[in-house]
Structure formats: structure tokens, C-alpha cells
């Protein structure tokens, strides 16, 4: 089974940090997705989430910053091996200027209202609407208020 750890950071305006993949991406080229990727052999999901975030954005978070929001197994496209996704979330005060694009065309904060207008990868089409409708997303927004 393919194991993946992805991260969604939420800023004070409720915007989500998303990646526009470039034409060279082996999966979902030219589509938008969550930051993250494969969990390496012998690696646990949580350390993989931190590693992937840093590799793709240059952002290094302190251990314990991320919270596991979802752990699900899916087969998004016909004929593909099942994939176990762990989706990690955290509030952030980072801005687009703090992000160093290590992979993809761009990695930027996207307003929730704009998410449905993007050409989303399969997994993002599944997870992002559910995240935006969740109590966890509301808690992330509330954490900025306090």
C-alpha cells in the first residue's frame, strides 16, 4: 500500500496552503493539491509530514505543531494501488512570502471560496471540502482569534 502524509496549514483569514503541481509531476500534473508526499520505508507518518512540509516549502515546524485530522485508505483512480492518506493540519501566521517553493509551480495560501474553482487532484477533491466543512477547520480559525 502506498503511504502518504499531507499537510494543510490555515492562516488567520482561513486560507489553505496549497500546491499547484507543475507539468513534470508524476501524479496529478498541472493540478492543485496538498503539500506532502510519500512516507519513506521505515518512516512513521507524522515525521514524514514534517519532512515533506520542509522539503516542499522550506517551512520547519516544531514537533507537536501538526494535528492528525484524517487517516483514510482510498483508491482514487481506477487500477491504482490503494493509498493510505494521513492529513495533518495546523494554524499558521505564515504568508506566501515565507514559502520557498521546493516542488511544483507554486505553493500559496488559497481562500476557501476559491478552492472549488481550482483543478484539484483526486485526493484534494476528496479531502478539502470535508476539511472546510469540519469542526477541525472551525477550531483552526478560532485558534487565531485567541
CATH value at residue 7:
3.90.79.10
Q: 41, 125 in Cβ contact below 8 A?
A: no
Q: 88, 8 in Cβ contact below 8 A?
A: yes
Q: What would the pLDDT profile of 75-132 be if each residue is shown by its tens digit? A: 766 667 889 999 999 999 999 999 999 888 999 999 999 999 999 999 999 999 999 9
Structural domain of residue 56, as residue ranges? 2-145
The DSSP line for 64-85 is: T--EEEEEEEE--STTPPPEEE
What pLDDT is stored for residue 79 in this prediction?
65
Q: 11, 109 in Cβ contact below 8 A?
A: yes
Q: What would the pLDDT profile of 14-72 be if each residue is shown by its tens digit? A: 999 999 998 887 777 789 999 999 999 999 999 999 999 999 999 999 999 999 999 99
Q: 69, 46 in Cβ contact below 8 A?
A: no
Distance, in Å, from the CA atom of 22 to the CA atom of 36, rounded to the nearest integer, reads 15
What pLDDT is stored for residue 78 in this prediction?
64
Contacts of residue 13, defined as CB under 8 A and 6 or more positions apart, other chains included, come to 109, 111
Q: 75, 83 in Cβ contact below 8 A?
A: yes
- Closest of 93, 22, 110 to residue 59, by C-alpha: 93
- Closest of 126, 107, 123 to residue 16, by C-alpha: 107
Cell of 15: 486560507
Report the predicted TM-score, pTM, of the whole model to 2 decimal places: 0.94
Residue 122, Cβ density class (10 Å: 0-12 exposed, 13-18 middle, ≥19 buried): middle
Q: What is the number of domains present in the chain? A: 1
Per the listing, cell 494535528 goes with: 67
Amino acid at each position: 500500500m502506498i503511504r502518504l502524509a499531507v499537510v494543510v496549514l490555515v492562516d488567520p483569514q482561513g486560507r489553505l496552503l496549497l500546491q499547484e503541481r507543475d507539468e513534470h509531476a508524476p501524479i496529478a500534473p498541472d493540478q492543485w493539491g496538498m503539500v506532502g508526499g510519500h512516507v519513506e520505508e521505515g518512516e512513521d507518518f507524522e515525521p514524514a509530514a514534517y519532512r515533506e512540509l520542509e522539503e516542499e516549502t522550506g517551512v520547519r515546524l516544531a514537533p507537536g505543531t501538526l494535528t492528525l485530522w484524517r487517516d483514510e485508505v482510498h483508491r482514487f483512480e481506477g487500477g491504482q494501488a490503494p493509498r493510505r492518506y494521513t492529513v495533518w493540519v495546523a494554524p499558521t501566521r505564515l504568508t506566501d512570502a515565507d514559502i520557498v517553493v521546493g516542488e511544483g509551480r507554486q505553493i500559496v495560501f488559497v481562500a476557501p471560496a476559491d478552492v472549488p474553482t481550482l483543478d484539484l487532484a483526486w485526493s484534494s477533491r476528496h479531502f478539502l471540502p470535508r476539511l472546510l466543512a469540519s469542526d477541525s477547520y472551525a477550531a483552526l480559525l478560532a485558534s487565531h482569534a485567541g
